[in-house]
């Protein structure tokens, strides 16, 4: 691989054009040039909507966080199962991810559309308006997708890339396969802990083993809901997250003391929608995951008793607490409770109950150990030892402190015979961008050249060529 000289450059116009790699997740959308080691563009997958001057306005990217506009509501075009629900908006959010940082706005972008100012009859007739207007007319595009993406969704994605964006060449790859590539493996059992889902993808010789793909909703958003459940039951007092935009000033307080803050309030007709507040609360929850939450490292469940006869909970209790300060200044040490938050990813019974949570109580089949068993159960017996020796951990929620230790213990207790080996990038960016990085590597391989679906092939065969080419 020579990243500075992408193989497709000669074919697509002779200029030095790199393919674009687009990796849309539920929480963030990553985009960048193939051959580079990190995505240049990272935007939230959420978008904002509000009304002004009698018109509906849309906001994309980090701008959604900035101003609590009256009536501003926050939406996600992707559903909780990780599959696109709103195609028009998915197209717009994804388009924003590459036009904002990579390709620059094309004339099709209504926000910065210089051409719109010219009456159409004054447009030069000889100009190829059609190709000028397409956002990706110059760039081959590799997109990632979940292992359980249905055929219809794959075809719809190809249609957007080819017909709306005008990409000259297109390919779709399963994010699990790409995360394996990013770890330098063509065969692996990929464990992805994302925002909407956790998933297990067995990969053999660069191909997804479809019957072994498993996923469940116990991802980062579920973990956030467990933190909220814990906050409600917190002592010495329940914790409310008040985002910064609702605080005008605060004073430092001692740990565990009520916050001393002046709050901002909005009259009903000036207030943003509740979904805006949730989005900002989610930022605090994410920070809390990074700084406080800890996975009981094992061996055995948190609820079990260790070989020395001491309950694991008691052992966890002896480890020093971790402090956290909320936006309103409230702060406290979090003790053994911080281990309870993610225990239900491994032990369904350990879930912290919360009748108000949008997540139903998890079932045993949704936990990681059971998903892994089901996944390996779906692949050829002969392949299992090799997959267990190449477990790749990816996704930002896998950065939880102690996660890989626990996964290792769980795997060794289910599969005491074969050698279990976990590869988890120590570098945070590599863990967060595993599937993007794999796409960056794949699209710049010389041998990948023949895999692209060209515009001509798409026109000849239609969108279902994706199903035939992208295995
Ligand atoms: N250091 C961290 N520790 C634990 N969780 C984290 C950390 N950093 C981010 N997260 C959580 O990881 C989630 C985002 O993970 P990731 O970027 O892999 O998801 P995604 O690809 O957007 O979503 P999905 O894979 O479900 O489509 C969020 O829920 C976020 O709160
Ligand atoms: Mg993901």
The predicted-structure confidence for 278-323, as pLDDT tens digits, reads as follows 999 999 999 999 999 999 999 999 999 988 899 999 999 999 999 9
Whether 219 shows a pLDDT value over 80: the answer reads yes
Whether 109 shows a pLDDT value over 80: the answer reads no
**Would you place residue 18 in the very low, low, confident or very high pLDDT band (cuts 50, 70, 90)?**
confident
179-181-187 Cα angle (round to 5):
95
Whether 157 shows a pLDDT value over 90: the answer reads yes
Q: What is the pLDDT of residue 15?
A: 45
pTM: 0.92
Give the mean pLDDT of 47-70. 97
Beta bridge partners of 30: 23, 42
Residues framing ligand 1 (Cβ under 6 A):
25-28, 82, 194-197, 219-221, 286, 289-290, 395-397, 399-400, 432
**CB–CB of 224/241 below 8 Å?**
no
Whether 3 shows a pLDDT value over 70: the answer reads no
Mean pLDDT of the chain: 92
Residue 83 alpha carbon to ligand 2 centre in Å? 11
**CB–CB of 151/462 below 8 Å?**
no
Q: What is the pLDDT of residue 132?
A: 59
Q: What is the pLDDT of residue 434?
A: 98
Residue 3 alpha carbon to ligand 1 centre in Å? 28
**CB–CB of 342/221 below 8 Å?**
no
The predicted-structure confidence for 338-382, as pLDDT tens digits, reads as follows 999 999 999 999 999 999 999 999 999 999 999 999 999 999 999
Mutate to test the pocket of ligand 1, among 93, 289, 429, 435 (most ligand atoms within 8 A of CB): 289
The predicted-structure confidence for 74-93, as pLDDT tens digits, reads as follows 999 999 999 999 999 999 99
Q: What is the pLDDT of residue 446?
A: 86
Whether 427 shows a pLDDT value over 60: the answer reads yes
Query: Which H or E run contains 281?
Result: helix 274-291
Other Cβ atoms closer than 10 A to 141: 27
Where are the extended beta strands (E) located within 194-255?
198-204, 207-208, 214-216, 247-251
| Position in ligand 1 atom list of the atom nearest CA 286 | 31
**Would you place residue 417 in the very low, low, confident or very high pLDDT band (cuts 50, 70, 90)?**
confident
Give the mean pLDDT of 101-127. 53
**Would you place residue 106 in the very low, low, confident or very high pLDDT band (cuts 50, 70, 90)?**
low
């Amino acid at each position: 691989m020579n990243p500075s000289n992408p193989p497709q450059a000669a074919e697509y116009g002779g200029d030095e054009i790199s393919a674009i790699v687009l990796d849309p997740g539920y929480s963030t959308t990553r985009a960048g040039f193939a051959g580079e080691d990190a995505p240049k563009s990272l935007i939230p997958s959420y978008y904002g909507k509000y009304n002004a001057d009698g018109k509906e306005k849309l906001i994309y990217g980090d701008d959604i966080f900035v101003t609590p506009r009256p009536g501003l509501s926050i939406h996600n075009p992707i559903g909780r199962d990780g599959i696109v629900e709103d195609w028009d908006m998915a197209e717009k959010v994804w388009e924003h991810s590459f036009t904002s940082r990579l390709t620059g706005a094309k004339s099709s972008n209504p926000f910065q559309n210089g051409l719109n100012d010219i009456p159409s009859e004054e447009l030069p007739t000889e100009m190829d308006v059609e190709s000028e207007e397409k956002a990706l007319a110059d760039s081959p595009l590799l997109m990632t997708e979940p292992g359980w993406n249905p055929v219809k969704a794959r075809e719809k994605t190809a249609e957007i890339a080819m017909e709306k964006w005008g990409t000259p060449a297109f390919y779709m790859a399963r994010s699990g396969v790409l995360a394996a590539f990013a770890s330098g493996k063509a065969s692996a059992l990929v464990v992805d802990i994302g925002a909407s889902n956790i998933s297990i993808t067995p990969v053999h010789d660069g191909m997804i083993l479809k019957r072994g793909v498993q996923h469940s909703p116990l991802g980062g958003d579920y973990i956030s809901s467990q933190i909220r459940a814990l906050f409600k039951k917190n002592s010495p007092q329940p914790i409310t997250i008040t985002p910064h935009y609702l605080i005008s000033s605060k004073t430092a307080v001692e740990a565990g003391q009520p916050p001393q803050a002046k709050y901002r309030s909005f009259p009903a007709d000036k207030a943003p929608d509740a979904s805006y507040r949730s989005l900002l609360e989610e930022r605090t929850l994410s920070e809390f995951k990074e700084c406080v939450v800890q996975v009981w490292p094992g061996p055995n469940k948190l609820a079990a008793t260790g070989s020395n006869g001491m309950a694991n909970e008691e052992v966890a209790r002896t480890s020093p607490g971790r402090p956290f300060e909320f936006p309103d200044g409230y702060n406290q040490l979090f003790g053994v409770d911080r281990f309870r938050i993610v225990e239900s990813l491994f032990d369904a019974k350990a879930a912290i109950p919360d009748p108000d949570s949008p997540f139903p109580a998890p079932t045993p089949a949704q936990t990681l150990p059971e998903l892994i068993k089901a996944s390996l159960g779906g692949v050829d017996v002969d392949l299992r030892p090799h997959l267990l020796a190449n477990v790749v951990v990816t996704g930002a929620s896998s950065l939880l402190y102690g996660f890989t230790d626990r996964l290792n213990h769980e795997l060794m207790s289910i599969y005491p015979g074969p050698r279990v080996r976990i590869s988890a990038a120590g570098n945070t960016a590599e863990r967060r961008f595993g599937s993007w990085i794999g796409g960056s590597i794949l699209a710049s391989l010389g041998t990948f050249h023949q895999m692209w679906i060209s515009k001509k092939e798409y026109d000849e065969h239609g969108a279902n060529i994706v199903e035939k080419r992208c295995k």
